[in-house]
Structure 1
Amino acid sequence: MTYQSVKLTRAGGVATLTITSKKGSMGPAFWQDVPHALADLGGARVLIVRGEEMFSAGLDVKASAASIGATLGDPVKFAAVVDEMHAAIEGLAALPIPVVAAVHGWCIGAGLELIAACDIRVCSADARFRLPEVLLGITADLGGLQRLPHVIGRGRAAYLALSAEPIDAATAERWGLVTEVLDTQGALFARADALAAHLASLPAKALEGTKRILHDDLPHAQSLADAVAWNARHMTAGGLGAALKK
């Protein structure tokens, strides 16, 4: 398919979803494109999410003003508009394959909420992260307030969300928002490609089960039982034997 605000490419088992809109802004077309792109992943083993000009300047407020403005004062209609945005980010989070976010430049608002839904995040030294919704008189409602506390801790998530202050790449790494900072954008994308290729070489069911257990918010005993049950269903003698011989 042809999309208006994203581009989907494939190299072996790795798919790359690139945000192509100006400054990576997320307008109505973006929220419509992403679910279709996710449905087009086919047999991809790993997905990389990245930007073109920068990662993302966040919600395109100007392009979204008409659709959102028409719902003000009507919670039901407003929820219907936001549900379309949720479908994109929640669909990304629900993928059974690993998702790697490669961030360069600004990652703002909805862009930050999107990468919080990814499994692994790496960035270049020029990356900047910000959750500025309070400056617009709104509360972040695309999953960032739910996911970021699990990623960086409640206090740091509260700082980002309440102060609307940006953080740089070094701070993002220190806080655990990203696992690695690369010197340049070129090095970032090379690292994301290499990491994705490595992940794509690993047993798919093992990755899927690991991701599922990591993200299921269940009591400890139930989570342990789920991990055991997953292995009971999917572990093979051949796969285990090959691993033991290494």
Structure 2
Amino acid sequence: MTNTSVHLGRAGEVATLTITSKKGALGPAFWREVPPALAGLGGARVLIVRGQEWFSAGLDVKATAPVIAPALGQPEAFAAVVAEMHAAIEGLAALPIPVIAAVHGWCIGAGLELISACDLRLCSADARFSLPEVKLGITADLGGLQRLPGLVGRGRAAHLALTGEPIDAAAAERWGLVTEVLPTPEALFARAGALADTLAQLPPRALEGTKRALSAELPHAEGLQQAVAWNAQHMTADGLMNALKGRGS
């Protein structure tokens, strides 16, 4: 399926959502197009999110200004505008399948908030990450300030958000924002595809249950009970025996 800002491709059980707008700018069309794209995943078992020119230049301020400007000073109207953006990012985070962000080039502002909602993040050596909203006189409000502390720690999240300064791929790996740095974009996309293929072969219910347990903001004991309840409902004797056979046990 092809839209003006995103393209959803498919290779077997792996889907790829590519940001196709110029420099990955996230304008009104992007936020409208993501939810129906996610609804079209069908039987996909893994989703890769990537950019075309580079990952994302962040919010397309020029295209978005006419939408936001009339709502300024009106909390309810402003919340309604931002709700469309939230629906796209929270919809991505809520997918029951693993989501891999493959980042090359710049990943700025809303783009960084977008990848923070993914499960796994890889990048190429040319990647740069920035959350510059404070320099624009605004507060990041698309989930990055809520998710980044859990990914990189509160201190490093504060450094990104309060200074607006970019970090390179090496720092992103050192901080834990990404788990792998590949030498080139081509190597990045190949690695993301190989990782997606590996995940697609794993039991989908186990992956979904693991995602739920990782994302649940519950006290320790309640989190344990949630994981136990999931296994009690979805684990099967046949599945367990097949897994043991696969390990040679």
1:38 aligns with 2:38: yes
**How far 1:207 sits from its partner (Å)?**
0.2
Give SS of 1:122's match. Answer: strand
Within-5 A mapping of 1:93-172: 93-172=93-172
Give SS of 1:70's match. Answer: helix
1:184 aligns with 2:184: yes
Deviation track 1:153-193 (CA, whole Å, cap 9, x = no partner) reads 00000000000000000000000000000000000000000
1:52 aligns with 2:57: no
**How far 1:4 sits from its partner (Å)?**
1.2
Within-5 A mapping of 1:156-235: 156-235=156-235
Overall identity of the aligned pairs, in %: 76
**How far 1:2 sits from its partner (Å)?**
3.5
**Cα distance in 1, alignment partners of residues 110 and 159 from structure 2:** 17
Within-5 A mapping of 1:80-95: 80-95=80-95
**Cα distance in 2, alignment partners of residues 138 and 24 from structure 1:** 21
- Normalised to the residue count of structure 1, the TM-score between the two structures is 0.99
Matched to 2:197, the amino acid is A
Aligned residues: 246
Deviation track 1:116-154 (CA, whole Å, cap 9, x = no partner) reads 000000000000000000011000000000000000000
Alignment partner, residue 20 of structure 1: 20
**Cα distance in 2, alignment partners of residues 170 and 142 from structure 1:** 25
Alignment partner, residue 76 of structure 1: 76
Alignment partner, residue 239 of structure 1: 239
- Normalised to the residue count of structure 2, the TM-score between the two structures is 0.98
Matched to 2:104, the amino acid is H
**Cα distance in 2, alignment partners of residues 73 and 171 from structure 1:** 38
**How far 1:3 sits from its partner (Å)?**
1.3
Alignment partner, residue 62 of structure 1: 62
**Cα distance in 2, alignment partners of residues 176 and 114 from structure 1:** 16
CA RMSD of aligned residues (A): 0.6
Deviation track 1:97-121 (CA, whole Å, cap 9, x = no partner) reads 0000000000000000000000000
- Segments of 5+ residues of structure 1 without an aligned counterpart are none
- Segments of 5+ residues of structure 2 without an aligned counterpart are none
The answer to which of 50-59 and 70-79 deviates more is 70-79
Matched to 2:237, the amino acid is A
Q: Which runs of 4+ in 1 moved over 3 A?
A: none
Give SS of 1:43's match. Answer: coil
Matched to 1:97, the amino acid is I
**Cα distance in 2, alignment partners of residues 137 and 36 from structure 1:** 32
**How far 1:242 sits from its partner (Å)?**
1.3
Matched to 2:238, the amino acid is G
